[in-house]
Amino acid sequence: MSNTSIAIRMGNTEELAEKLNAKLIPADATKVEELERVFDESMQAMGGKIDFMLHSIGMSPNVRKKRTYDDLDYHMLSQTLDISAISFHKMLQVAYKKDAINEWGSVVALTYGAAHRTMYGYNDMADAKAMLESIARSFGYIYGRKRNVRINTISQSPTLTTAGSGIKGFDSLMDFSERMSPLGNATAAECADYCIALFSDLTKKVTMQNLFHDGGYSSMGMSYRAMEQYIKSFEGIKDEYGNIIYG
């Protein structure tokens, strides 16, 4: 699912589906009728309910058109929210009404730290991510209480994607995050591993959480690797033997 069914032509989606022998069902995630078709065809293809879902959709027309946050086009803001956040609610609501997810199933959505802290250039996508996380909590309570289905969000390190590449200064943001994170940025492949962990029965009592997968970035204030970009002399943070004082 994407904000447009023609997104199937981008990247290697069809190649991946063929490799996995998986049925590929293109759909516009902003349209309820297309989501209904996706769940109907998925359950038919699998012979029953599904065990897990991943929401990884995000796009801002304002970012693409280089509209700054103090000069947003409000029609495009509505599109940003619909594509990047409300589509998550639509997906959950359709699945809930169709009882499409098995008991103890798992739903994960990808978010970013800009939902909590201002990130230069992230623009109205920050508003969308904040809404996305709120939907996970609100629907997580209902789905958990009624069907034992868990819903969580993963706050991932900045990761180069088609949507992310349009954000001003994104390369610099990735470099700063890499320097700030004790473990470095989490890669897309590592994020996939984390998603699998949340889909598994090993996390069956984890729900309504926003889980940071960012190499420690979200708990940092300043690191040595980031500081070295901003000061010329390090004498003040080294001991008499020239060793870096991390404390």
What DSSP line would sit under 142-183, residue for residue?
Answer: HHHHHH--EEEEEEEPP---TTGGGSTTHHHHHHHHHHH-TT
- Cα-Cα-Cα-Cα dihedral of 207, 210, 215, 217, to 10°? -160
Show Cβ contacts of residue 71 under 8 Å, excluding neighbours closer than 6 positions. Answer: none
Look at residue 113 and tell me whether its pLDDT is greater than 70: yes
In this predicted model, what pLDDT tens digit does every residue of 180-228 receive, in sequence order? 999 999 999 999 999 999 999 999 999 999 999 999 999 998 888 888 7
Q: What is the structure's pLDDT at 170? A: 74
How large is the average pLDDT for residues 121-131? 96
Look at residue 247 and tell me whether its pLDDT is greater than 60: no
Q: What is the structure's pLDDT at 16? A: 84
CATH (one of 3.90.1170.50, 2.40.160.60, 3.40.50.720, 3.30.420.40) for 51-237: 3.40.50.720
Look at residue 1 and tell me whether its pLDDT is greater than 60: no
Name the residue ranges covered by the structural domains of the chain: 51-237
Among 17-31, 50-64, 104-118, 221-235, whose mean pLDDT is lowest? 221-235
DSSP state at residue 85: I
Pick from 75, 50, 77, 82: nearest CA to 63: 77
Q: What is the structure's pLDDT at 239? A: 72
Pick from 78, 72, 90, 74: nearest CA to 30: 90
High-pLDDT (> 90) share of the chain, %: 70
Show Cβ contacts of residue 16 under 8 Å, excluding neighbours closer than 6 positions. Answer: 22
Class of residue 135 by CB neighbours under 10 A (exposed 0-12, middle 13-18, buried 19+): buried
Pick from 88, 118, 92, 121: nearest CA to 105: 92
Q: What is the average pLDDT score of the chain?
A: 90
Look at residue 3 and tell me whether its pLDDT is greater than 60: no
Among 59-68, 167-176, 202-211, 237-246, whose mean pLDDT is lowest? 237-246
- For 185, the 3-state DSSP assignment is coil
Work out the angle at residue 111's Cα, subtended by the Cα atoms of residues 80 and 223, and round it to the nearest 5 degrees: 125
Residue 187's identity, in one-letter code, is: T
Q: What is the structure's pLDDT at 99? A: 98
Q: Regarding predicted confidence, which is higher, 46 or 14?
A: 46
- For 27, the 3-state DSSP assignment is coil
CA distance 63 to 165: 10
Q: What is the structure's pLDDT at 236? A: 56
In this predicted model, what pLDDT tens digit does every residue of 140-185 receive, in sequence order? 999 999 999 999 999 999 987 765 666 666 788 888 899 999 999 9
Q: Regarding predicted confidence, which is higher, 53 or 244?
A: 53
How large is the average pLDDT for residues 108-122? 94
Could you tell me the pTM of the whole model?
A: 0.88
Q: What is the structure's pLDDT at 163? A: 59
State the alpha helices, DSSP H only, in the chain.
Answer: 13-20, 32-46, 61-64, 74-81, 87-97, 125-147, 170-180, 188-199, 224-227
Residue 178's identity, in one-letter code, is: E
How large is the average pLDDT for residues 117-140? 96
